[in-house]
Structure 1
């Protein structure tokens, strides 16, 4: 799919891979709606935009904000050709130490945020018999690790939602892609790992954000079903599915670095 003049919404566009993907999409001729809670940060990102864009204050964890925000987009552009559900966060804590309220809030943002935004675009995409939905999940949604019970559950939910949705919308010419990256060198860890313990342990394995952003843009162009990054993590996820007990034993020390 050519990106020229396509209207593409990127949530969580104020930093990290969302900001980079928005800039890359702009370079390729798309009209990009950069959506996030912080307008100040969005304005900083917008300095790297090459083409037409719109800044949208949006909280994916709030239904009213989503309803109001997407109405603004449709009022201005009349359509949305692609939605990139990228907004989300993580916090690494042991299950018995994390309050239930934090489990609920992370699920509200990381999973229900995807649901809210997807439901906002589906009616028009169905009517147009076309559209792209790209959901940024995580390899954590396939391989659980210590101190990430809440985060892993949210990304597992995104993967399940995406798989089922893909079957629902196939007949309408709509594609649903998932991007499943491992650890990325972004501000995500400012909240998830404020002391830097995990980052220090996996620094050798962390990916540059540009690599993941390029995969997001490629998914918009091709409508590919799933991208696992890095490829070795995808292989590990397959091995885990086939031999879960053995994988637990072999991977315990390697994966539990938090």
Structure 2
């Protein structure tokens, strides 16, 4: 039986129109939560919403647009009275050699993956601080902890997400607001249609791929247990500790696995 800790919780999800955002929204609804879906595409949001049986909200918003972000969160707070959990999930990646990746792509990836989280978090933190409770869950990536070739721009953006998350957690530690990071490895979603259009990387890491359903379950567990960090898959946590102790050795040992793009 599912935990009832999320029953009637207002959970805002960015990037909710597909992948783990959409699946997490549907799973939250089954647990009695009220998912509030945010994404750029109204058509895709409606498609996701069709799989939700309980109450839900739906707002079109581009996380790169500061004014629209502020307006959207104000609308949500007016309609529902509170936001219990914010899941910052919006993001994308592209894989290319550093010399081939345009500077504009670095900027846009940082604008969506990092600044999008900053904008949404700033829109909700004052409200959570006033209530003395709440949780912000940032979907970062294993790439934010271990770099790999052909993912310089994406890795940098996720490093920024983790730095932001860790620092904000310390700043708000005694406030009642929990700041969490979920760091997944490769997930079998449409993410790779943009990141890896040739399919080479997906083919090379097929055995390591996690299902989006598994990742969504772990995200929800992070919410239910107010966990501060979750590395996925579980074996990755050991690898991260090894990397922290022996970074150069770990680079050499993991080169063939981490550089299959």
Normalised-by-shorter TM-score class? over 0.9
Q: Which among 98, 101, 105 is matched to residue 102 of structure 1?
A: 105
Q: What residue in structure 1 maps to residue 114 of structure 2? A: 111
The yes-or-no answer on 1:241 pairing with 2:214 is no
Is contact 1:11–1:84 with CA below 8 Å preserved after alignment? Answer: yes
2:34 paired residue number: 31
Displacement of 1:249 after TM fit?
Answer: 1.5
Mapped to 1, the partners of 2:77 and 2:257 lie a distance apart of 47
Alignment of 1:223-234 (within 5 A): 223-234=226-237
**Which stretch of the first structure deviates more once superposed, 130-139 or 163-172?**
163-172
Query: 2:223 & 2:90 partners in 1: Cα distance?
Result: 17
Aligned counterpart, 1:216 = 219
Give, in whole Å, the separation in 2 of the partners of 1:170 and 1:255: 34
Q: CA RMSD in A?
A: 0.9
Superposed displacement of residue 38, structure 1: 0.6
Task: Say which of 130, 153, 156 aligns to 1:153.
Answer: 156
Name the counterpart of 1:79.
82
* Structure 2: 5+ residue stretches without partners: none
Task: Please give the TM-score of this superposition, normalised by the length of structure 2.
Answer: 0.97
- Residue 166 (1) aligns with residue 169 (2): yes
Contact 1:139 1:234 in 2 (8 A): no
- Report deviation, 1:57: 0.2
CA distance in structure 2 between the aligned counterparts of 1:174 and 1:124, rounded to whole angstroms:
10
Deviations 1:238-258 (A, max 9, x none): 211111111122111121100
Which runs of structure 1 show a deviation greater than 4 angstroms over 4 or more consecutive aligned residues?
none
Deviation at 1:65, TM superposition (A): 1.6
Q: How far apart are the structure 2 equivalents of 1:253 and 1:31? A: 43
| Number of matched pairs | 258
- 2:63 maps to 1:60: yes
1:177 lines up with 2:180 in the alignment: yes
Indicate conservation of the 8 Å contact 1:21/1:213, yes or no: yes
Partners of 1:43 and 1:96 lie apart in 2 by 39
The more displaced of 62-71 and 203-212 is 62-71
SS in 1 for 2:99: helix
The answer for the alignment partner of 1:256 in structure 2 is 259
Q: 1:193 aligns with which of 193, 196, 199?
A: 196
